[in-house]
């Protein structure tokens, strides 16, 4: 019988206190049916992305336990960070890996939402493939206004929580959960401290493109009142300008379908666009894990020869995507299939 594997990648709004993260991940360590693949703490973002994989029921039980710990230890009233956020447990996606359908993961997300909302009186929103309202499919649309905006936003009829009370919880904020395909979170650093330069590049490459403005700098709207946008260069790509630290701006990206928009093409475009601005793209940063095929695809393009050895292709990708510029990059820890074998 085919083994069932689900990946879950909860994002917690704490990236500076190691003791809090240690407590949050303890339920994963304690469950023999769940593997902890990655912990990505970001001090400037003040955010930690945790990657676990395992049998569906075990993953659900474990992430609920992690959520309880996080809601107890994290206080959003004291939180600040570079990354957009709206809750102590910011987002909890479920991803089908093996022997599990997208519909199975949708059901897991709904069960998660029901349980944590009832246990903690936590407002929860369904997004991605679990969304039941069109304006909640995209996570950035839910996050708009961030934590501070939810004090008023939650009382708007169109933003009534899918689960939990219609009440702003200052300590916890709100949480989003849903089922989605594998997502690659990859950033490219620039040799500038000017975030607006990263935003210029991000607006050109992302699917949503840029907002059209008139000569007065005002947003242009169509006959239905919708803001007009110039389409971006790549499909299935989210991008924004962020700060890696106070001295380094970066183009922060989510690749929603690497089979259509791959790491190589986008990275090389960023290098080109940076050069036009008189800048240099000087490092790549992977947040969480990446499928082996996505790395191999990039390696083939960087190799420019008919290389078949997977390990060699991975090394070409590491060098071309600049993944070894910030610190040593260990593919056995960062490539999903290799991390699972190792774990």
Catalytic residues: 83
Contact between 298 and 317 (Cβ < 8 Å): yes
Alpha-carbon distances of 144 from 24, 79, 141, 150, 202, rounded to whole Å: 26, 17, 5, 9, 18
Contact between 74 and 14 (Cβ < 8 Å): yes
According to DSSP, residue 324 is labeled: T
Alpha helices in 31-138 (DSSP H): 56-73, 102-120
Per the listing, tokens 């080109």 go with 272
User: What tokens appear for 146 in the block?
Assistant: 């961030």
Helix (H), strand (E), coil (C) string for 218-253: CECECCCCCECEECCCCCCEEEEEEEEECCEEEEEE
Q: Which residues pair with 179 in a beta bridge?
A: 94, 128
Q: Is 65 exposed, middle or buried (0-12, 13-18, 19+ CB in 10 A)?
A: middle
Other CB atoms closer than 10 Å to residue 144's CB: what's the count?
14
């Amino acid at each position: 019988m085919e083994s069932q594997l689900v990946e879950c990648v909860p994002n917690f709004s704490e990236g500076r206190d190691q003791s809090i993260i240690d407590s949050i991940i303890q339920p994963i360590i304690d469950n023999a049916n769940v593997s902890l693949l990655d912990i990505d703490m970001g001090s400037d973002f003040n955010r930690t992305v945790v990657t676990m994989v395992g049998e569906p029921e075990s993953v659900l039980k474990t992430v609920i336990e992690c959520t309880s710990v996080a809601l107890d230890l994290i206080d959003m009233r004291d939180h600040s960070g570079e990354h957009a956020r709206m809750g102590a447990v910011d987002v909890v996606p479920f991803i089908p890996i093996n022997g599990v359908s997208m519909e199975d993961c949708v059901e897991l997300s709904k069960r998660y939402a029901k349980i944590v909302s009832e246990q903690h009186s936590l407002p929860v929103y369904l997004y991605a493939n679990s969304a039941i309202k069109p304006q909640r499919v995209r996570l950035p649309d839910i996050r708009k206004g961030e934590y501070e905006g939810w004090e008023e936003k939650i009382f708007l009829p169109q933003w009534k929580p899918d689960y939990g009370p219609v009440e702003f919880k200052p300590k916890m904020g709100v949480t989003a959960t849903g089922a989605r395909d594998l997502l690659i979170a990859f950033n490219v650093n620039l040799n500038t401290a000017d975030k607006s330069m990263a935003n210029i590049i991000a607006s050109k490459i992302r699917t949503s493109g840029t907002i059209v403005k008139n000569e007065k700098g005002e947003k242009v709207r169509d006959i239905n009142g919708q803001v007009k946008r110039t389409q971006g260069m790549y499909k299935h790509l989210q991008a924004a300008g962020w700060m890696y630290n106070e001295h380094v701006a970066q183009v922060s990206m989510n690749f929603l379908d690497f089979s259509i928009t791959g790491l190589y093409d986008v990275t090389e475009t960023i290098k080109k666009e940076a050069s036009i601005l008189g800048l240099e793209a000087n490092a790549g940063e992977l947040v969480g894990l990446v499928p082996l095929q996505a790395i191999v695809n990039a390696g083939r393009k960087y190799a420019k020869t008919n290389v078949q050895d997977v390990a060699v292709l991975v090394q070409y990708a590491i060098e071309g995507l600049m993944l070894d510029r910030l610190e040593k990059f260990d593919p056995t820890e960062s490539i999903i299939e290799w991390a699972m074998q190792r774990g």
